[in-house]
Amino acid sequence: THKAASLVRSQASSFDWAIHPGGASILQGAKQALCLTDDHIRASLDVYQHHGNSSSPTVLIVLDKLRMMGEGRENVVATSFGPGLIIEMCIMRRCRHIAVPRPFKVDKHTSWYAS
């Protein structure tokens, strides 16, 4: 909604950001337009560096990476881009009381979680 977009724009630095890593120019453009730092988009930068640009659901990988990074800001903005530059965005609140599963590697491409 317009109210949510206004909130995000005015307080962008108070959120962690899970941005679909559609390319370096998208990440840097969002960072610049919203006056963010690399810390705000750290999970997106990490996923882009290690996996590149996949498809719009890649934002789910970014959210998982942000979750595994542990402590962060209370609220997270997730945004994804689709064909024809369709943009979806949502604001989420972290669940602090939920334990983060420990990841372990099966191979260099797949992460599985210990229960």
pLDDT at 103 over 60: no
At 50-76, the pLDDT tens digits run 888 877 678 888 988 888 887 788 889
CA quadruple 92, 8, 54, 22: dihedral, nearest 10: -170
pLDDT (0 to 100) of residue 114: 44
Regarding the domain delimited by 2-113, which CATH topology (the fold level of the hierarchy) does it fall under? Peroxisomal Thiolase; Chain A, domain 1 (3.40.47)
pLDDT (0 to 100) of residue 115: 40
In the chain, % helix, strand, coil (3-state, to 5) comes to: 40, 25, 35
pLDDT (0 to 100) of residue 79: 86
Question: What is the C-alpha radius of gyration for the chain, rounded to an integer number of angstroms?
Answer: 14
> CA quadruple 6, 11, 34, 47: dihedral positive or negative?
negative
Mean pLDDT of the chain: 78
Residue 91's pLDDT band, with cuts at 50, 70 and 90, is confident
- Enumerate the domain spans of the chain: 2-113
Longest Cα separation, the chain: 44
